[in-house]
Amino acid sequence: MTADPGSGGEPGEGERKFVRACALADVPAEGALGVEVEGTPVAVVRAEGELYALHDVCSHAEVTLSEGEVYDHTIECWLHGSCFDVRTGAPTGPPATVPVPVYPVKTEDGDVYVALS
Ligand code: FES
């Protein structure tokens, strides 16, 4: 385990450990930014003015979701057009039938933090 001096202390029991993902300014006004957080691909999404974080791998085949289009609260996979609700990760359009994980997200001092576990 590595200590993260920027995360504001040790996570307590039941507390989530937020890790810096990117600068808020790097996230498109309506769109997604693909980043890697502790080795995990994460799509940081801004939709309708809100931030969301999803696992950045389509559940249909292994391509990055962050390269897809964002509209309403949907991210659409660029390869075969599967749609996912960015709030829940639930598939809302075929061919995907399996949800993608979503992560808690917060902003602090102009940076975006996500909690992977
Ligand atoms: S890989 Fe995303 S819809 Fe097929």
* Global pTM exceeds 0.85: yes
Domains with residue ranges and CATH for the chain: 18-115 (2.102.10.10)
User: How close is the Cα of 29 to the center of ligand 1, in Å?
Assistant: 24
pLDDT at 5 over 50: no
The reply to whether omega before 28 is within 30° of 0 (cis) is no
Which atom of ligand 1 lies closest to the CA of 82? 3
* Cα distance between residue 59 and residue 37, in whole Å: 19
The answer to whether 45 and 32 are in contact (CB under 8 A) is: yes
Q: Mention every residue, 6+ apart, whose C-beta is less than 8 A from residue 39.
A: none
Per-residue pLDDT reduced to its tens digit, 23-81: 999 999 999 999 999 999 999 999 999 999 999 999 999 999 999 999 999 999 999 99
Q: Report phi then psi at 66, rounded to 5.
A: -65, -15
Please report which helix (H) or strand (E) contains residue 83, including its range. strand 83-85
| Ligand 1 close to Cβ of residue 23 (< 6 A) | no
User: How close is the Cα of 109 to the center of ligand 1, in Å?
Assistant: 35
